Amino acid sequence: MNHVVCPMCGSENIFADSGLITGKYKCNECGYVGSLIYEFDDKDYELFKRQLERSKSREKFPK
């Protein structure tokens, strides 16, 4: 199964903005609008989610 996700927050709640006429997507979770999205198979999606969680946890506790 393929997963289409937001590059900013990792949400799969992303849709074609303006019916894809503009070539942009919109994330309903974080508000991202842009032409870049990520598409992963199951294995790569799980890896992406783990990396995203690690980067988010580092942001909470800056050095």
Torsion sign over Cα 13, 17, 21, 24: negative
pLDDT of residue 28: 96
Please report the pLDDT score of residue 60 as a whole number: 60
Distance CA 49, CA 23 (A): 25
Show pLDDT as tens, one digit a residue, over the chain (63 residues): 899 999 999 999 999 887 667 789 999 999 999 999 999 999 999 999 999 888 877 766 555
Q: Considering its fold, how many domains does the chain have in total?
A: 1
Does pTM top 0.85 for this prediction?
Answer: no
Q: What is the span of the domain harbouring residue 42?
A: 3-60
pLDDT at 50: 92
